[in-house]
Amino acid sequence: MFSLKRKKVPSPSVNNDMLSKQRRYDSLVRALHGDLYRYAYWLCGDKHIAEDITQETFLRAWRSLESLKDDKAAKAWLITILRRENARRFERKQFDYSDVEQSELADKVSLSTEDNMEQHLLRRQIARLEVEYREPLILQVIGGFTGDEIANILDLNRNTVMTRLFRARNQLKDMLDDTQTRGHSNG
Amino acid sequence: MDELKFRREAYENPQRRDADFIAAMGESSQRAQFVNDLKRFDNQIEAALNIDVPTGLEAKLLLNQQLHQHQVRRRKMGFTLAMVASVAFVAGISFSLFRLGPVDLGEHALAHVAHETVAMQSSLDISYNTINSQLASLGNFANARFTEQPGRVFFSTYCDFQGVRSLHLVMQGEQGKVTLFIVPIEERMILEQAFADNRYQGEGFTADNAYMLLVAEHHSDIDNIKNEIQQTFI
């Protein structure tokens, strides 16, 4: 008797709300699932875990979609959720997936061309980069965020972010130069 | 901008477009080359970061949400169903408890007369033998009966006094019709000597092992019928 009354009165607006929420969610998924998945992958270093985290993230986003006021902020909002989901993973289990993955990563890619070879090397170096340097770099390069935005997402001060970006590129270059010269001298 | 600051800024973000940086870059071809190298390196990083997204991830995300939504709806449905069920349960329990509670005969008699308009419009003439056979089938008082016709009886039927089967008679008084209820005695009944509402007056008394309730518009009618019943009813 309650349910009947409750359902009858507000149904048109509720249906409309549901529809627009659904549409909003759909477009968020379409536009951002790739970036979110990539971010998750570079955060945890495992394809399957990255997929799980992405799913959890979007589910959580669906549940609290009302709290996203400005659609332009959607990407940063989703990344914040994703980072929280990733942190939750460590609360749940103490396995360190990324260690396992980084050593495995080497064998998975076909080394048909020199380009691939280079890219593969670079991926390995990025995976080796400490996460505190890796994260701002990913946010800048894939996410296209400015220093201020990155500072906001990571809850750091802007100068720290810029320093980490500097070190990230610096370390990558060093590591790459290192392996290349070693490769040359070996060859 | 000195060299150190320039290089640092370039490393922080080679794509930057602010005037200071652009100007500093234009100061020498070496600087431009340096930034270009970094940009190329950034492109490489971007390509390296751009790992393949699993096919069907998008569909999976949408499906996941749909399933979740479905479950939520089902859970909500279950909750509403449980609510409705428990409300019905409580209603059922309280109703049956209510029926076991004390019954105010007077009030009920008035309500009964007010609602059963058919009884007052009836113009039959029922013999006391018919009434006696009805009384006999009430069970509780097989011996109770009328010894002779108690005036004209317009209407006689069984009725329900909060779960107790009783007899409902309409008789002729001097000034109007008088309703008589014969109710088998039960513990939870409360009999009032006199009761009334805006229109009707009523009186109750015990005869043999039955409650007798009289309801009429005029008090004198009640007294008359009461006398008559006390003489004819054993």
Query: Contact B83/A2, CB-based, under 8 Å?
Result: yes
Spatial distance between the Cα atoms of B169 and B228, rounded to a whole number of angstroms: 14
Output the CATH code of domain A111-187: 1.10.10.10
Interface with A, mutate which of B18, B40, B49 (most A CBs under 10 A): B49
* Fold classified for B103-232: Protein Transport Mog1p; Chain A (3.40.1000)
Spatial distance between the Cα atoms of A35 and A61, rounded to a whole number of angstroms: 15
* Residue B146 DSSP class: B
CA A126 to the chain's CA centroid: 14
* Selected residues 74-103 of chain B with any CB under 8 Å from a CB in chain A: 80, 83-84, 87
pLDDT at A136: 94
Chain A contact present for B63, CB below 8 A: no
Spatial distance between the Cα atoms of A86 and A43, rounded to a whole number of angstroms: 8
Residue B212's beta-bridge partner residues? B182, B205
Domain residue spans of chain B: 3-49, 103-232
pLDDT at A158: 92
Spatial distance between the Cα atoms of B11 and B21, rounded to a whole number of angstroms: 12
Q: Provide the token pair at A25.
A: 């969610």
H-helix segments, B116-173: 117-121, 128-137
Min Cα separation B150/chain A (Å):
51
pLDDT tens digits, one per residue of B156-178 = 888 887 777 888 888 888 888 88
pLDDT at B99: 67
Q: Which residues of chain B have pLDDT under 50?
A: none
Domain residue spans of chain A: 20-108, 111-187
A and B: number of Cβ contacts within 8 A: 87
pLDDT at A11: 59
pLDDT at A165: 93
Spatial distance between the Cα atoms of A38 and B52, rounded to a whole number of angstroms: 8
Query: Contact A166/B53, CB-based, under 8 Å?
Result: no
pLDDT at A134: 92
H-helix segments, chain B: 3-12, 19-25, 29-49, 57-100, 105-115, 117-121, 128-137, 219-232
pLDDT at A138: 92
Q: Which residues of chain A have pLDDT under 50?
A: 1, 3-9, 100-109, 187
Which residues in chain A touch residue B87, judged by CB atoms under 8 angstroms apart? 1-2
Closest chain B residue by Cα to residue A6: B80
Find out if CATH 1.10.1740 is the number for domain A20-108: yes
Q: What's this model's pTM, rounded to 2 decimal places?
A: 0.58
pLDDT at A94: 55
Complex-level ipTM: 0.74
* Pairing state between β B103-104 and B189-190: parallel
pLDDT at A155: 92
Spatial distance between the Cα atoms of B232 and B215, rounded to a whole number of angstroms: 18
Option in A38, A47, A166 nearest B8 (CB): A166
Chain A contact present for B65, CB below 8 A: yes
Q: Provide the token pair at B76.
A: 């909500």
